Amino acid sequence: MNAPLPGPLADNRRLDRWVAFPAPGQVTILTGRVEIGQGVLTAMAQIAADELDVAMTRIAIRSGDTEATPNEGYTAGSQSIQFGAAALRQALADIRALFLEKAAQMLGCDARELSIVDGQILRNGVSSAQDYWSLAGMVNLAVDATGTGARKAASEFKTIGASTARLDLPGKVFGAPAFIHDMKLDGMVHARVVRQPNRGASIGSIDEAAIKRAAKGAIDFVRNGDFLAVISNDETAVDLAGAAAADHVTWQNVEAPAASQQEARWLLQRPAIDRPFGAPPSPDAQATERFEATYTRGYLAHASISPSCGLALYKNGHLDVWTHCQGVFPLRAALARELGIAADKISVHHVQGSGCYGHNGADDAAADAAIVALQKPGIPVRVRWRREEEFVYEPKTPAMVVTVRALLDETGKPSDWTQEIWSPTHNLRPGGGGNLLGALALPNPPPAPPPNDVPEANGGGATRNAEPLYAIPAKRILHHLVTETPIRTSALRGLGAMPNVFALECAIDELAERAGADPVAYRLSITADVRARAVIEKVAAMARWDANAPAGTGIGRGIAFARYKNKAAYSAIVVELQVDEDIRLRRVWCATDAGLVVNPDGAVNQLEGGIIQSASWVLKEQVRFDNGVASLDWETYPVLKFSEVPAIDVELINTRDEIPLGVGEATAGPTAAAIGNAVSHALGARIRDLPLTRERVMAALLKE
């Protein structure tokens, strides 16, 4: 019996959805995964080079296109290599086997006599005068994968496992039109949407004359219900008009979040759906020592480098959409559902943006362009959000409250663990039942989706990484899915993993201190997983961990560990920092076990990026409310500066394991907790609320 096909391949069995041989010497790899700054397309090319035995220079990648590529859902959750690469490898192995079988038939020999070198088929090491391209017309790829093709063993890899320069960077660095923002279509008009403040708000009045005066150029208005846009051939005119519209369009039924709602503890008083997981309720043995602590994190923004952009053309009854979203097939389904068009009349094409890990405004900008295009058949429409619009209207990652409760045995180790979480949803992507922003302003808008979150089988949303990987006899999660929130919330890098690991790993440090134990030794004493132990020991060795370093000196070190989703890469982090007027990161060490690593340089880049972004979240970031979202730019929503980035040392271990593990989000949680633990070590006082601002540092010191 054949082994089951990898998930994405099982859902996209046709082999011609994975590869093509368009011209002599050329190979096109088709993938549903898209490039959002993580280097995934370079890794896919490396995989193709090894599995097909061709030079990387022959390979072109086509990704994220509903007309050509397999439907692999979203590029998210660190799944591109862990699952997408496994599917691609097997598809290519099947394709390679079909070509060898055809060559053997033509040459009248056993396929075992054949090998392939750079696409050329050799018989017993000698050229057979056949290659992929001479046989391409005779090999039918419009067949289903069987999973019988033999994937290359690690000993046969030539490109996989070698650091390879990113294929997408030269164009981006040297000014080629690499981004969706650079796209120009003949006859294209620019549009800016006058944004509905909230679901249910309606237009009261429009002073068109004032908006036209502010535009200083010719503009037109497009309206459908409470969806209002200005369009023009002149992008400057629509920019000016879009900014002026805030003063010249009035809205009714406006609901604006108040400052009190920005704090995570506001969630504790809101309606919620209770979702318990794991062990039954904990025992209530009065003689058992107890630990309890609560940790919080506020709302975070994606704060994308470039604002969201989308293009659309409705012509001859067919809608084409260009987008930098993370899931072209889910977006097509959402557009069909919410615009009343058959899905087979919509084509969605991915074009790279500046990068964003999560559900920002990309899907919404594409929907904006589609709505306007339907009103202007035959005219290409380009929508680019304004910076303030991006900060206010993109979905935010939820604020979260996490309470850890532990029962301790006679040695001070946890025998029972409860992680209780209050959080709104992390799952309002279009394919998960969420609504496109522009569609909410149309007549008869779609109903609000029922409360939901990412299923536990997919790693969970608010509950992601809430279960300790440590050897604790009884573990449970109590999730309160908060059903009312003042702003849209959805996916951001790691979802609930960062606040959960922050709470969990800070609590472990607190338990170690309570037991009078070194934090590294304490973790190892409750860790049975061999690979987890290896990264903890490795990072401690890298940092030359000193178990006797004194606390409260202003210089602190902290350690933390997690396996992302308890399914992907293992990462352990040590942070060294200094606390005086501010918290200044001095050095970060990271040890990661990601199994088989396709491109080590790319993996290290991802791990470093996660460390830097997490440090920014922990030290700087929180969305503020003041009769609306008050974080409008990087002045009012500060992020970590280049000058504040510490030296970072990353080491990969176990990189030849046959099973690749996703690395994209692996360092976010451990970095947050390691910083929290290092600050506690530096101050001799614990801060449990994020971000770790100067005000919170001072408050913690005053308590001591």
Residue-wise DSSP of 492-559: BTTTTHHHHHHHHHHHHHHHHHHTT--HHHHHHHT---HHHHHHHHHHHHHHT--TTPPSSSSEEEEE
Q: What is the DSSP string of 74-143?
A: -S-TT-IIIIIIHHHHHHHHHHHHHHHHHHHHHHTS-GGGEEEETTEEEETTEEEEEEHHHHTTTS--SS
* Cis peptide leading into residue 600 (ω within 30°): no
Q: What is the DSSP string of 410-441?
A: TTS-EEEEEEEEEE--S---GGGT---TGGGG
Exposure on the CB side of residue 416, measured as CA atoms within 13 A: 16
Reading the block at residue 62, the tokens are 């086509």
Same domain for 317 and 373, yes or no, is: yes
Same domain for 523 and 625, yes or no, is: yes
Write down which residue in 166, 201, 224 finishes a domain: 166
The four Cα atoms 649, 598, 82, 305 give a dihedral, to 10 degrees, of 60
B/e letters for 383-397, b = 16+ CB within 10 Å, e = fewer, are bbbbebbbbbbbbbb
Nearest of 402, 269, 423, 448 to residue 690 by alpha carbon: 402
Same domain for 537 and 628, yes or no, is: yes
Same domain for 243 and 148, yes or no, is: no
Same domain for 192 and 143, yes or no, is: no
Nearest of 642, 589, 634, 643 to residue 611 by alpha carbon: 589
Same domain for 235 and 131, yes or no, is: no
Could you tell me if residue 655 is inside a domain?
Answer: yes
In angstroms, the CA 66 to CA 51 distance is 25
In angstroms, the CA 670 to CA 559 distance is 8
Could you tell me if residue 291 is inside a domain?
Answer: no
Residues of the chain with pLDDT under 50: 1
Amino acid making up residue 503: A
Write down which residue in 352, 374, 393 finishes a domain: 393
The beta strands (E) that lie in 298-367 are given as: 309-315, 318-323, 346-350
Same domain for 406 and 389, yes or no, is: no
Write down which residue in 348, 368, 393 finishes a domain: 393
B/e letters for 286-318, b = 16+ CB within 10 Å, e = fewer, are eeeeebebbbbbbbbbbbbebbbbbbbbbeeee
Using CA of residue 634, residue 635, residue 639, residue 644, what is the dihedral sign?
Answer: positive
Amino acid making up residue 474: A
Could you tell me if residue 454 is inside a domain?
Answer: no
Sorted by sequence, the CB contacts under 8 Å of residue 406 that are 6+ apart come out as 290, 291, 292, 414, 416, 417, 418, 507, 511
Helix (H) or strand (E) segment spanning residue 19: strand 19-20
Residue in this structure with the two tokens 């992302």, named with its chain if needed: 564
- Structural domain including 99 reads 7-166
Count how many domains the chain has: 3
Q: Please give the backbone phi and psi of residue 368, each rounded to the nearest 5 degrees, phi first.
A: -55, -50
- pLDDT at residue 704, as a whole number: 60
Distance of alpha carbon 599 from the chain centroid: 19
Could you tell me if residue 275 is inside a domain?
Answer: no
Enter the pTM of the model. 0.94
Same domain for 110 and 146, yes or no, is: yes
Instruction: List C-alpha distances in Å: 700 to 14, 685, 693.
Output: 60, 6, 11
Question: Number of helices and strands (H, E) in the chain?
Answer: 16, 25
Could you tell me if residue 648 is inside a domain?
Answer: yes
In angstroms, the CA 200 to CA 94 distance is 52
Same domain for 139 and 231, yes or no, is: no
Measure CA of the first residue to CA of the last residue in the chain; give whole Å: 66
Same domain for 409 and 386, yes or no, is: no
Reading the block at residue 49, the tokens are 């080079």
Could you tell me if residue 260 is inside a domain?
Answer: no
Strand-pairing partners, residue 417, are 406, 475
Q: Please give the backbone phi and psi of residue 474, each rounded to the nearest 5 degrees, phi first.
A: -130, 125
**CB-based contact 666:357 (threshold 8 Å):** no
Q: Supply the CATH number for residue 143's domain.
A: 3.30.365.10
Strand-pairing partners, residue 649, are 589
- From its phi and psi, is residue 652 left (phi > 0), alpha (psi between -120 and 50) or beta? beta
Edge-to-edge strand ranges of the sheet holding 19-20: 19-20, 27-31, 59-63
Could you tell me if residue 162 is inside a domain?
Answer: yes
Burial (CB < 10 A; 0-12, 13-18, 19+), residue 129, is exposed
Same domain for 389 and 407, yes or no, is: no
Same domain for 523 and 669, yes or no, is: yes
Could you tell me if residue 288 is inside a domain?
Answer: no
Amino acid making up residue 567: K
Nearest of 463, 465, 438, 436 to residue 452 by alpha carbon: 463
- Reduced to 3 states (helix: H, G, I; strand: E, B; else coil), residue 255 is coil
Nearest of 650, 655, 659 to residue 573 by alpha carbon: 650
- pLDDT at residue 387, as a whole number: 92
How many CB atoms are closer than 10 A to CB 408? 17
Distance of alpha carbon 695 from the chain centroid: 31
Helix (H) or strand (E) segment spanning residue 240: helix 235-248
- pLDDT at residue 4, as a whole number: 83
Residue in this structure with the two tokens 């709505």, named with its chain if needed: 371
